[in-house]
Chain A
């Protein structure tokens, strides 16, 4: 990252175009020369280096190279230097103290006695007067010494510069729109990074990847560049992903858009993504047991986007035609459980949950899927039994499990079983379970439909309220009444807003 004054960019309409180094001859030449200037100044004063750099800057400016490029590259190289006050027997502040105390005798300043004071001090410290002059100010920045310099290659320097330039522009970002495609591991790393930097995201699932809208807590309250630096710090993680595109809203003098994608990958340094370790030993335990029971186990199979946030199921397990997501709920805090429940409630995939029995609210997980409880440790025999039970049940339940109940709406079934509603309809069109009718939005027992039809026919009063109370008397919940009446072949004609007055014909 560079100081904002060294940003090199131009405007094109509403876009900000960064002036990256593409490795042109003159850029390579400049980078090489700078590196050798730094190398030559190891063991010398910072002030000397600065003067040399000023000359070099002027020389390159003469051949049309932007001084900001020269300074930008120098800034990066300076960070690779170890700069210290020269080691001396006597510290500069000690010499100063002696000199100032001597000068104090002459009223706190000297015009004519200066030379004498320096000479006396030199005698006292057994130094040369010129050494006193030299060492007395050795701790001023310009007099400090370059101790070490770890030199990059010219090509490395230019790539580092490009990354820094992108980050510098992002200092002025009020938010970032990020489109990524990547392995679960990479996405997880990105999210960890977003959170660690104090940022927030809203995720959306796209046909092809995930869109993250990234900004900070206060961003909803006002447009602020406060989070620009944090956004800039995401760059190394982003550019090492498989596929990425950044669209950032910048506030320079005017609002501008910065857009860049992996098509510019070659401009930037390469960074290896470090694999994420297992979160807990429970995950390891589950993995081992499932594998030895003959399941194919895929760790962190794919991220699921729901309600703006992202959920990473721990595992996908496969055996024959049975597939299932697995989530382990071991470690917990109230807040964690609350968030986890909120996320999982919105996921329609059928899941196996491995839940610590000691969770005070563990029972709330029951509606979310199959549950396996454990106490502290996952026991081999118990889990293996549960897995084979699942295998058997799921294998049999080709279309629908038998427990659909007397009457259900398709929405209810689809959310309960983890099928998408359209998939469910398709399946029902192929085959309806024996003794059931599939009509409109309902799946119900044939008997019930018949009974409802005769009840409605025999009812004298033809208003919704009366018929509804009869159905209720038969134990059919009110929420099905409207659909059931229509399924039985009747029409509901509304007379005003109140449905209880509707006429049934």
Chain B
């Protein structure tokens, strides 16, 4: 084809040149005599260029316009055969899948954590039988998806992330790795599955969505909305919400029932003093730079100013100090002790906001610790022991937040945490894995009379009944 083109150019015949679509590092190159939508003239190559994610739109446009064209865009890895998935879907999973299929194989499915999103995606892959990229937030999740794919579809997927770089018919990549290698991955997959799809809307990660040509896209999440509002990008990059069901609708039937118990603790004398000092320094700083805290934007303003203003920086440090005192308070550890004693026989997962706190708890109470730095082998061993009942307590910072299959704990204790609603829902989900007759308890331990109380209020909005 290329050679014929050359000949035509050289002979100087300017008669009909076929339309040609070609992939180039996260973009499409469109040659030929017709203009197509979403494309821009690129002087550097004397052809039109469009973002790769418009591939489907452009092909549909050309077909509708009855224009003949050659399509060299997709370049998938060698095909591999899936085996049939033996596990049946639950009713709502079936509904979710059908809804996605009938929406043109684009769109987001919103399901609570623990409701079996992975299985829906695997069924979709089984149905389509096309090259597929699964994008996940963390390396543990990448491994987990990988073993699910091996188990249910009977093929071993390629992995991208955590030092691995292997592209196969089905490939699982972390968002980080997919971002870095988007140019390379863009033409390889017909279907893209985004686990925890709300991440895709982040400024950098949105490039993944833009640079993939994949005409079929599936997003999975428990929380579609982002606090920064950027989820407005998702309908363009993945498709709109095609199915949604809330934890409340599933509680009892498919998920364990749960209750939330809030425990307020007092700061110690010393902590209270330090806390007060820090808060006052923070306020002094604010008033001397003339900033009032009325919305998250004002806070962002402070962070920006701290790059150039010494006062703003000190105010910010004071705020951090106050927050750390409130979150890591000694009285919280006392409360934790009481809860541990009350649940001596139960499986308990303890969540902390900061690594330091998690380490302190592990050190002090000799409870196995999982942080993002825990080697994979050790983490798996700890989780396995927890599942087998050898260990009955685990402490973790933020690692277990998302999607990782944690064995069925009955009790979750949250020591501090940010005001993000998503994080709370996900942690909640950990203990909500369906177990007959199990009623889960979630303890939330906050410091009385500190800003944390309002953070906790924000977190529960829309979750507790």
Query: Which residues of A are at the interface with B, using a C-beta cutoff of 8 A?
Result: 5, 93, 96-97, 99-104, 107-111, 114, 117, 137, 140-141, 198, 200-202, 216-218, 220-222, 224, 226, 253, 308, 334-335, 337-338, 341, 360-361, 364, 367
Which of B143-151, B340-348, B422-430, B436-444 sits within the interface?
A: B340-348
Query: How far in angstroms is the closest Cβ of chain A from B441?
Result: 16
CA distance A19 to B304 in the complex (A): 19
> B26 to A104, Cβ gap below 8 A?
no
CA distance A289 to B186 in the complex (A): 47
> A198 to B25, Cβ gap below 8 A?
yes
Query: How far in angstroms is the closest Cβ of chain A from B275?
Result: 22
Among A140, A221, A335: residue with most chain B CB under 10 A = A221
What are 17 A-B contacts defined by CB distance under 8 Å? A97-B381, A100-B382, A102-B366, A107-B345, A109-B393, A140-B359, A217-B49, A218-B51, A220-B43, A220-B49, A221-B49, A222-B51, A308-B44, A334-B3, A338-B5, A341-B10, A364-B10
Chain A residues with CB under 8 Å of B211's CB are 218
Closest residue to B395 on the A side, CB-wise? A109
Contact of B378 among A93, A117, A202, A364 (CB under 8 A): A93
Contact of B40 among A114, A220, A341 (CB under 8 A): A220
Query: How far in angstroms is the closest Cβ of chain B from A10?
Result: 9
Contact mask for chain B residues 358-378; partner A; CB cutoff 8 A; 1 contact, 0 none:
010001111110000101001
Number of residues of chain B lying within 8 A (CB) of chain A: 46
Among B5, B41, B210: residue with most chain A CB under 10 A = B210
> A93 to B375, Cβ gap below 8 A?
yes
A253 and B304 contact, Cβ closer than 8 Å, known pairs A111-B337, A221-B40, A221-B51: yes
CA distance A253 to B305 in the complex (A): 12
> B304 to A110, Cβ gap below 8 A?
no
> B40 to A103, Cβ gap below 8 A?
no
Q: Which residues of chain B from 315 to 343 have any CB-CB distance to chain A below 8 Å in the complex? A: 337, 340-341
Query: How far in angstroms is the closest Cβ of chain A from B301?
Result: 11
Query: How far in angstroms is the closest Cβ of chain A from B376?
Result: 12
Query: How far in angstroms is the closest Cβ of chain A from B117?
Result: 29
> B50 to A221, Cβ gap below 8 A?
yes
A104 and B378 contact, Cβ closer than 8 Å, known pairs A109-B367, A217-B25, A364-B10: no
Chain A residues with CB under 8 Å of B94's CB are none
CA distance A308 to B7 in the complex (A): 22
Interface membership of B71, Cβ < 8 A: no
Query: How far in angstroms is the closest Cβ of chain B from A251?
Result: 11
> A202 to B344, Cβ gap below 8 A?
no
CA distance A110 to B363 in the complex (A): 10
CA distance A360 to B6 in the complex (A): 12
> A109 to B366, Cβ gap below 8 A?
yes
Query: How far in angstroms is the closest Cβ of chain B from A20?
Result: 18
Among B43, B44, B51, B210: residue with most chain A CB under 10 A = B44
A104 and B391 contact, Cβ closer than 8 Å, known pairs A110-B365, A335-B2: yes
> B26 to A217, Cβ gap below 8 A?
yes
Chain A residues with CB under 8 Å of B340's CB are 107, 109, 111
Chain A residues with CB under 8 Å of B304's CB are 253
CA distance A244 to B279 in the complex (A): 52
Contact of B365 among A101, A109, A308, A334 (CB under 8 A): A109
> A103 to B49, Cβ gap below 8 A?
no
Closest residue to A68 on the B side, CB-wise? B307
> A361 to B337, Cβ gap below 8 A?
no
CA distance A137 to B362 in the complex (A): 10
> A108 to B393, Cβ gap below 8 A?
yes
Interface membership of B421, Cβ < 8 A: no
CA distance A104 to B363 in the complex (A): 14
Chain B residues with CB under 8 Å of A360's CB are 3
Chain B residues with CB under 8 Å of A361's CB are 3, 6-7
Which 7 A-B residue pairings sit nearest by Cβ, starting from the closest?
A108-B393, A108-B392, A107-B344, A103-B366, A334-B2, A109-B365, A217-B25
Query: How far in angstroms is the closest Cβ of chain B from A58?
Result: 12
Query: How far in angstroms is the closest Cβ of chain B from A218?
Result: 5
A107 and B6 contact, Cβ closer than 8 Å, known pairs A200-B44, A202-B43: no
Interface membership of B397, Cβ < 8 A: no
CA distance A5 to B313 in the complex (A): 13
Chain B residues with CB under 8 Å of A226's CB are 207
Interface membership of B27, Cβ < 8 A: yes
> B367 to A108, Cβ gap below 8 A?
yes
Closest residue to A102 on the B side, CB-wise? B366
Closest residue to B363 on the A side, CB-wise? A137
Interface membership of B390, Cβ < 8 A: yes
Closest residue to A336 on the B side, CB-wise? B2
> A341 to B6, Cβ gap below 8 A?
yes
Q: Which residues of chain B from 13 to 30 have any CB-CB distance to chain A below 8 Å in the complex? A: 24-27
> B373 to A141, Cβ gap below 8 A?
yes
CA distance A141 to B43 in the complex (A): 50
Chain B residues with CB under 8 Å of A5's CB are 307
Contact of B26 among A103, A137, A218 (CB under 8 A): A218
CA distance A107 to B365 in the complex (A): 11
CA distance A110 to B51 in the complex (A): 58
Closest residue to A213 on the B side, CB-wise? B44
Query: How far in angstroms is the closest Cβ of chain B from A70?
Result: 14
> A308 to B43, Cβ gap below 8 A?
yes
Contact of A99 among B49, B50, B183, B366 (CB under 8 A): B366
Interface membership of B60, Cβ < 8 A: no
Query: How far in angstroms is the closest Cβ of chain B from A361?
Result: 6
> A202 to B44, Cβ gap below 8 A?
yes
A108 and B391 contact, Cβ closer than 8 Å, known pairs A137-B363, A216-B25: yes
CA distance A218 to B54 in the complex (A): 13
Contact mask for chain B residues 290-326; partner A; CB cutoff 8 A; 1 contact, 0 none:
0000000000000010010000000000000000000
> B366 to A100, Cβ gap below 8 A?
yes
Contact of A96 among B24, B341, B368 (CB under 8 A): B368
Contact of A338 among B2, B348, B393 (CB under 8 A): B2
A117 and B366 contact, Cβ closer than 8 Å, known pairs A93-B378, A107-B345: yes
Contact mask for chain B residues 47-66; partner A; CB cutoff 8 A; 1 contact, 0 none:
00111000000000000000
Interface membership of B42, Cβ < 8 A: yes
Closest residue to A141 on the B side, CB-wise? B373
> A337 to B6, Cβ gap below 8 A?
yes
Contact of B368 among A100, A111, A198, A221 (CB under 8 A): A100
Chain B residues with CB under 8 Å of A109's CB are 340, 365-367, 393
Closest residue to B394 on the A side, CB-wise? A108
Query: How far in angstroms is the closest Cβ of chain A from B337?
Result: 6
Known: A109-B367, A217-B26, A224-B207. 13 other contacts (CB 8 A): A93-B378, A99-B366, A100-B366, A103-B365, A108-B348, A108-B391, A114-B364, A217-B27, A220-B42, A253-B304, A338-B2, A338-B5, A341-B6
> B6 to A364, Cβ gap below 8 A?
yes
Query: How far in angstroms is the closest Cβ of chain A from B10?
Result: 5
CA distance A102 to B391 in the complex (A): 10
Chain A residues with CB under 8 Å of B368's CB are 96, 100
Closest residue to B54 on the A side, CB-wise? A221
Closest residue to B49 on the A side, CB-wise? A220
Chain B residues with CB under 8 Å of A217's CB are 24-27, 49, 183
Chain A residues with CB under 8 Å of B359's CB are 137, 140
Chain A residues with CB under 8 Å of B307's CB are 5
CA distance A137 to B25 in the complex (A): 45
Chain A residues with CB under 8 Å of B40's CB are 220-221
